[in-house]
Structure 1
Amino acid sequence: MCRSLSARLRGDIQSFKPISKQYCRSMSSSPHDLHCVDMRSSQAGKDWNSSDEFFKFTRGRFLVEEAKNLKSRETKFDLNRLARVAADSVGATQCISIKKYPDGMFNKAFLMTMDNGREVVSKVPNPNAGIPHFTTASEVATMDFVRKVLDTPAPRVYSWNSQAKSHPVGAEFIIMDKVEGVPLSQVWGNMKLPQKLQLLLAITRLQKKWVSVSFSHYGSLYYAGDVQQQSNVSHYFKDGNTIDKSGFTVGPITARDWLDGGRSKLDIDRGPWASLTDYLRAVGTREQRAVECLKPVKQLALFCGPKLYQPDMGKKLTALTSYQRIVDFLIPKDTTLISPYLWHDDLHDDNIFVDPDNPETITGIIDWQSCHVSPLFNHNPDPAFLDWDGLEPETLDLAPRPKLSELSPADRATALREYTVQNVFIGWRKLMQAKNPALYRAIEFRKTPAYGLIFLAHRMFEYGEAHFQSLLVDLKDTWATLPAVTHDVQFPFHFSEADLERIKLESDAAVAGTDLVMEVKESLGDLWPDKGFIEHERYHDCKAALDKVKCQIIEQLAETDEEKAEFERHWPFD
């Protein structure tokens, strides 16, 4: 079904592809990106508040609920006062220039130049960034902790505020170093293989430092004075020693899965938690409350409709009830895998800065917002810039060099790129296995049905009930091998033949919806609106391409007017 539609898409969508244009990087532009958009740069005495472009989202358009997405990324504050605070924080008389970087999805960032030559970055969260106070307070403490305790190059903070209503600026903000070097995105493509491996080795060393320090609680990191003290004050462990009264503490969690899709508005337990079971059960309760209380979100992970996946709130709640019954049995026994660690889960090539003359040398890592303390198996072990989207390699043997003689020049370039990307990824995993075996064990656990069930529970509000039920069926065969299962604990679910048939059909439909998204994404190429976003210059071509895709999907899959209406209702794009 999906393959025949995909073939038509590849042919019909080509006319919409842009011809050799260079565009900004798509979604999470670095606050230090050297390709920043100079929205306004003026001499001292100018009213920085006079330009609306400083406060609005100006980077592009949204094709999913555009009005809502733009509003959630617009914030008004006193930029003149922020410039004054920034100047005072570095001993300058005044700020003489402000440039706005390309809008991020959750923040605005400005490069401020002072009359003494100092440059700082000022960061202001959008309304969608997180829960007031906690998001900013945690980010500041986290950057300080990783610099001082984890020996990781993060920006130094000069001034900050997490109380928007009581500060003259009228917003939360962080004023910090402009990191030296250039984003890895500018040099990675031109680096030689030995340099790439040296850079990966440097990241391995950093991650080993992150694994060397664990915590007593799960949540997010703060200065002790910025959260209400819990009855059991948290502490951390380093080199076999317990470190308390450090000035840092673990408090309410600020991870994105606790904020997205309206979750930030839920009245729920946000931690901190002293036990992993309490933390994982709180995740299930959070998703249950989201399903019961929030409007379903439009998602781009898979297309929905007749003959494809169709979200079902009742089945989501059933899946979450099943999750709560077995969560204790899904937890591995390996204490390193389940201990709380602080981690940077978004190591893409705009968040890592390197020395342009020695690109294997990391000069800084930015964007610590929403970084949190959770079990090692819950963290992302792989840097996103490796660009590996294939299946998990079965072995760590390097892939053989492809035979190129009979390929066209274009196919030859594609084959060489895939060969290089795959072997760099395998090289990364080899380094991890040799230098950071605890993290490699986490990788191995992430291949199990137990982890799959935990993972799907974290995003059940958006999707996952069909895959969850399918994994639950598979779990029956391996139930007795789970570490916490004793001989007298039977698999707690019974599936009739009718249940099994229904679960298989629903899982197949969800896979078809996911596959169709991937095929459409491949067909559209640069016109695909990642996270619903597209640059201004590509908006109309993108919208036209998506309208054509929708018509083709409805034409092929809808058999009645009711099914056509159902596809229209589930279509995620405006």
Structure 2
Amino acid sequence: MALDRGWLNIAKRHYLRLLHTSEGSRAMPSHRQIDTNPLFYYTSGRWLWNEREQLEARYRRFDVPSLQQAACQAIGANKCMSFKKIGEGNYNKAYRLEMEDGQKIIAKVPHPNAGPQVHTTASEVATMEFARTVLNLPVPRVLAWSATDQNPVRAEYIMMEEASGSQLHEVWQDLPLRRKCDIIREFVDVERKLLSVSFENGVAGCEPAIVTSGPQEVIDHIESTYCIGPITRREFWEKQRSEMQFHGPWTSSAEYLKSVARREIKWINNHANPQEPSKTPWQYTNPQQKSPEAHTALLEKFLTAIPYITAKDPELVSPRLWHPDFHAGNVYIDAQGRISCIIDWQGAWATPVFIGANPPLLLDYGIDMLMKLPENFKALDDTTKDKLKYQVSQSILIHTYEETTVEKNPLMYKVMHHPHGQTLKQLEAFVGSTWDNCLFPFEECLIRVESEWRHFGTNEPCPYHFSAEEIRQHDEEAGTFNKSQELWKELQGVLTDEGYASNESFSKAVEILGDLREVGLSGLEGEDRRSFDKETRWVLDLRSH
């Protein structure tokens, strides 16, 4: 990635303050000793700030011989001959064990940040079994598991069959467009199966599943075998939220949304610390970000609007299973290009359809649709040609997806064309993290709801109001917020707003931070320059490591 002058100028105009981190949030890596055994330690990348905290959240030690023995018992093998870490994500590590007789097994061990203990693993195992046996989806068979660390392994684990085929993200770019269209049609079939079972229970509960649609023998099997809840989404359990009674059950999607807002109001009032340094010091924050009153005022506005803006269509509000990480890294295809396995069901949940269901991440809905190349294509430069070819191929894939969805999965098509559907999804995504992430986009959604209120199908007036002065201040901030988004978009694939860089992009990320530091220094003089120089010297230390 080239460090072009365009976004360096963005940094100069809008980011002089970003490197000026407060005492206590400085990104200098800690030198405290941490066990760096690659079996247990995160090795796929680095964090340029808050690294110790991030690594500790992803460190999981366990007893390797006991895990090997448990794997042997699961498949009737005598001895494990090979044990290797084959992958890791934000929340889990995966290991391949090969036995003396040639059998292979995958062991998945969750990180400490994966979610609530016991519930997270038990829910994933049940969901995988449900998806495999009830929905007939290509999911690895679970061979053994433990939802507690009170075992010889001293960790929770899931042992499963190894996924067959190749990960889709490894081959996607090289596939011909016709083959990609075939895979997109298969995605539609998977989504249709996921949405085929509707639960009468609320969004999540702690009770036997009650099913409202499907063949009677399937309904009987589900209701006698499975329970719904409690919800295991991580944001419901972070920090002191784990001690709060906001984990379900909920009787409706409206009650679910109200619960999330009330949870955050209670957490902010009881635990938010305005003096705590930002843990992501370079992420944009508006002037109200550290004001508990500003957060609760917006959350109260949202609460008043929920009864009016929640979808009314019974199908759209019905809870149905969804895989929120249905991306190319979690999908395997066989030699014929057909989906052979879907993995990582840890985050799957029974969601109100209008909130949780989304088109595949393989589709870029940010493009302008273009179904064929322009007549002057051959005369264009190579960069423009590449952009146009991408635009056309994505347009064809989106058209294929929507055409197939209309035919085979009308409920999903209804979700995609629900009025204000994207605004409602964004509200649900933002409402539970205004303090930990950013308040501005939540306020943006609420302003949009008020401005478009007459289109929500109610005769009642909007129950809240933003004054002209509040909207003026918000609009003034919009430019800075949008520039921040532009910067992070430019850095996509190199550095995230949490400071993460892969091993391959780490050097480039450090180089970029150094350039940003120089930009900041060039805009300051006197004591401000000396202070900024002192407080950002850790960037130079990163360069020297």
The two structures have a TM-score, normalised by structure 1, of: 0.79
| 1:449–1:510 distance in 2 versus 1, CA, 3 Å | same
Query: What is the match of residue 481 of structure 2?
Result: 510
Tell me, yes or no, if the aligned pair for 1:457 and 1:464 is still in contact at 8 Å.
no
The alpha carbon displacement at 1:191 in A equals 1.5
Query: What is the match of residue 405 of structure 2?
Result: 432
2:102 aligned residue (96, 109, 117): 117
Aligned length: 506
Q: Tell me how far apart the structure 2 counterparts of residues 199 and 118 of structure 1 sit (CA, whole Å).
A: 30
Query: What is the match of residue 381 of structure 2?
Result: 408
Tell me, yes or no, if the aligned pair for 1:300 and 1:572 is still in contact at 8 Å.
no
Whether 1:188 and 2:159 are equivalent positions in the alignment is: no
| 1:329–1:507 distance in 2 versus 1, CA, 3 Å | farther
| 1:56–1:465 distance in 2 versus 1, CA, 3 Å | closer
Tell me, yes or no, if the aligned pair for 1:98 and 1:110 is still in contact at 8 Å.
yes
Tell me, yes or no, if the aligned pair for 1:133 and 1:163 is still in contact at 8 Å.
yes
Kindly provide the amino acid, as one letter, of the partner of residue 89 in structure 1: A
Q: Tell me how far apart the structure 2 counterparts of residues 278 and 479 of structure 1 sit (CA, whole Å).
A: 21
| 1:554–1:255 distance in 2 versus 1, CA, 3 Å | farther
Whether 1:248 and 2:226 are equivalent positions in the alignment is: yes
Deviates more, 1:168-177 or 1:98-107: 98-107
Tell me, yes or no, if the aligned pair for 1:5 and 1:553 is still in contact at 8 Å.
no
Q: Tell me how far apart the structure 2 counterparts of residues 202 and 87 of structure 1 sit (CA, whole Å).
A: 35
Tell me, yes or no, if the aligned pair for 1:346 and 1:383 is still in contact at 8 Å.
no
* 3-state DSSP of counterpart to 1:428: helix
Query: What is the match of residue 212 of structure 2?
Result: 237
Deviates more, 1:81-90 or 1:283-292: 283-292
Tell me, yes or no, if the aligned pair for 1:220 and 1:250 is still in contact at 8 Å.
yes
Tell me, yes or no, if the aligned pair for 2:286 and 2:477 is still in contact at 8 Å.
no
Query: What is the match of residue 371 of structure 2?
Result: 399
The alpha carbon displacement at 1:350 in A equals 1.6
| 1:167–1:201 distance in 2 versus 1, CA, 3 Å | same
Deviates more, 1:148-157 or 1:422-431: 422-431
The alpha carbon displacement at 1:384 in A equals 2.0
Query: What is the match of residue 33 of structure 1?
Result: none
Q: Tell me how far apart the structure 2 counterparts of residues 130 and 200 of structure 1 sit (CA, whole Å).
A: 31
What's the CA shift string for 1:430-474, capped at 9, x where partnerless? Answer: 322332221122122354544443343243233453333333333
Q: Tell me how far apart the structure 1 counterparts of residues 128 and 184 of structure 2 sit (CA, whole Å).
A: 22
Tell me, yes or no, if the aligned pair for 1:258 and 1:264 is still in contact at 8 Å.
yes
Deviates more, 1:526-535 or 1:100-109: 526-535
Tell me, yes or no, if the aligned pair for 1:266 and 1:290 is still in contact at 8 Å.
no
Tell me, yes or no, if the aligned pair for 2:301 and 2:463 is still in contact at 8 Å.
no
The alpha carbon displacement at 1:177 in A equals 0.4
| 1:490–1:219 distance in 2 versus 1, CA, 3 Å | closer
Kindly provide the amino acid, as one letter, of the partner of residue 249 in structure 1: C
| 1:507–1:347 distance in 2 versus 1, CA, 3 Å | same
Whether 1:213 and 2:197 are equivalent positions in the alignment is: yes
2:349 aligned residue (360, 368, 372): 372
Query: What is the match of residue 303 of structure 1?
Result: 284
What's the CA shift string for 1:69-108, capped at 9, x where partnerless? Answer: 1111111211100100100100111111111113221111
What's the CA shift string for 1:217-271, capped at 9, x where partnerless? Answer: 24569xxxxxxx54xx4312332655464210101111243346x4664524111
The alpha carbon displacement at 1:552 in A equals 2.4
Kindly provide the amino acid, as one letter, of the partner of residue 53 in structure 1: P
Q: Tell me how far apart the structure 2 counterparts of residues 319 and 312 of structure 1 sit (CA, whole Å).
A: 11
Kindly provide the amino acid, as one letter, of the partner of residue 509 in structure 1: T
| 1:121–1:531 distance in 2 versus 1, CA, 3 Å | farther
| 1:196–1:10 distance in 2 versus 1, CA, 3 Å | farther
Whether 1:316 and 2:285 are equivalent positions in the alignment is: no
Tell me, yes or no, if the aligned pair for 2:98 and 2:105 is still in contact at 8 Å.
yes
Tell me, yes or no, if the aligned pair for 2:357 and 2:412 is still in contact at 8 Å.
no
Query: What is the match of residue 177 of structure 1?
Result: 161
Q: Tell me how far apart the structure 2 counterparts of residues 294 and 170 of structure 1 sit (CA, whole Å).
A: 34
Q: Tell me how far apart the structure 1 counterparts of residues 524 and 414 of structure 2 sit (CA, whole Å).
A: 43
The two structures have a TM-score, normalised by structure 2, of: 0.83
The percentage of aligned residue pairs carrying the same residue is 27
Tell me, yes or no, if the aligned pair for 2:77 and 2:101 is still in contact at 8 Å.
yes
The alpha carbon displacement at 1:559 in A equals 12
Q: Tell me how far apart the structure 2 counterparts of residues 190 and 434 of structure 1 sit (CA, whole Å).
A: 28
The alpha carbon displacement at 1:310 in A equals 5.5
1:462 aligned residue (423, 436, 441): 436
1:57 aligned residue (28, 37, 42): 42
Query: What is the match of residue 536 of structure 1?
Result: 503
Summarize the alignment of residues 56-95 of structure 1 with structure 2, pairs less than 5 Å apart: 56-95=41-80
The alpha carbon displacement at 1:509 in A equals 3.4
Whether 1:390 and 2:366 are equivalent positions in the alignment is: yes
| 1:74–1:416 distance in 2 versus 1, CA, 3 Å | same
2:138 aligned residue (140, 153, 161): 153
Q: Which runs of 5+ in 2 are unaligned?
A: 13-34
Query: What is the match of residue 501 of structure 1?
Result: 472
* 3-state DSSP of counterpart to 1:186: helix
Q: Tell me how far apart the structure 1 counterparts of residues 53 and 185 of structure 2 sit (CA, whole Å).
A: 42
* 3-state DSSP of counterpart to 2:46: strand
Tell me, yes or no, if the aligned pair for 1:138 and 1:220 is still in contact at 8 Å.
no
| 1:105–1:475 distance in 2 versus 1, CA, 3 Å | closer
* 3-state DSSP of counterpart to 2:417: helix
* 3-state DSSP of counterpart to 1:385: coil
Whether 1:349 and 2:334 are equivalent positions in the alignment is: no
Tell me, yes or no, if the aligned pair for 1:106 and 1:126 is still in contact at 8 Å.
yes
| 1:474–1:535 distance in 2 versus 1, CA, 3 Å | closer
Q: Tell me how far apart the structure 1 counterparts of residues 501 and 423 of structure 2 sit (CA, whole Å).
A: 36
Tell me, yes or no, if the aligned pair for 2:322 and 2:350 is still in contact at 8 Å.
yes
Tell me, yes or no, if the aligned pair for 1:290 and 1:461 is still in contact at 8 Å.
no
| 1:450–1:162 distance in 2 versus 1, CA, 3 Å | closer
